[in-house]
Chains A and B, each alone.
Chain A
Amino acid sequence: MTVTVTWYLLLGAALFSMGVAGVMIRRNALIMFMSIELMLNSVNLTFVAISKDLGLIEGQVAALFVMVIAAAEVTIGLAIIVAIFRKKASANVDELAELKG
């Protein structure tokens, strides 16, 4: 039994689904953010697996670019979470209802 690209793709799909569930099920903004990171990671895994399967290096380059985007996203996102926390003293997304009419 050899490891095929399908195994990696199924693992990536499973991790992505868990990330989706995390965004929906948790109320803590930080853990929702970690779930988004998990989704980005699972997509990277599929990129690299496909890269290996097709023999193209572009998949790995794409994975590196996704990592750069993730780093920028984490910087901004955590800054926003800290800024909100300083105003509301809470990281619970359900308490953020300022725009409610």
Chain B
Amino acid sequence: MGETITFIIFAAVAIAGAATMLMARNPVYSAVGLLSTMFAIAILYILLDAHLVAVVQVIIYAGAVMTLFLFVIMLIGVDRPGAYGERPLSQRIMTGVVAVGFFAALALAGRQAWVTGSSAFGAPDLNGTIETVADELFGTWTIVFLATVILLTIAALGTIALAYFDQDAEEEGAS
């Protein structure tokens, strides 16, 4: 019973946060809405016994990604009216129709699963601790893990290159 109540509360928080992100005119409110969605999802992970993923979710998303977003929002500036224009009403209605249709399609596609059973969770003894996840991550998926290391290095280098070459172009334009 407690699990059901927790799920309902935090699913509602996640939906409300996503709606805030969609609707807010000020990008900072959007960021805060997404942040609350991410915290709610982290709590749902704990409900699913995925403790490591929950902690990583808070550290990576709430800690690193959203902080980066807020930095960029502050860098770009939030207090310039007119820069963040809204779509016309017809486009917004069409978007709503498409989004609802997309949700209906996803629900229909998953209908087979929720009609034919899955009464409760099949294997409730799975516990996503650091040990169980690390056994899998550094056992079966070591090569993939090393590939992500290369990927992150390339991403960092790409960011530096973007900033560097941009500066070069500006200097050429000034001279």
Contact = CB atoms under 8 A, between A and B. Distances in A.
Contacts of B92: 25
A5 B118 CA distance: 7
Main secondary structure of the interface of B (DSSP, over half): helix
Nearest to A92: B83
A13 B106 contact: yes
Main secondary structure of the interface of A (DSSP, over half): helix
A97 to B, nearest CB: 15
B77 to A, nearest CB: 9
A14 interface: yes
Interface in A10-62: 10-11, 13-22, 24-28, 30-31, 33-35, 37-38, 41, 44-45, 48-49, 51-58, 60-61
- Give the interface centre of A27, A68, A90 by most chain B CB atoms within 10 Å: A68
Interface residues of A, number: 74
Contacts of B154: 72
The bracket for how many chain B residues form the interface is 35 or more
Given A1-B4, A18-B99, A55-B122, A34 B110 contact: no
A14 B104 CA distance: 9
Contacts of B76: 30, 81-82, 85, 91
21 contacts: A2-B119, A4-B114, A6-B118, A8-B44, A25-B22, A25-B95, A34-B34, A37-B65, A45-B44, A48-B45, A48-B128, A52-B123, A71-B64, A71-B65, A73-B155, A75-B156, A75-B159, A78-B72, A79-B158, A80-B162, A92-B84
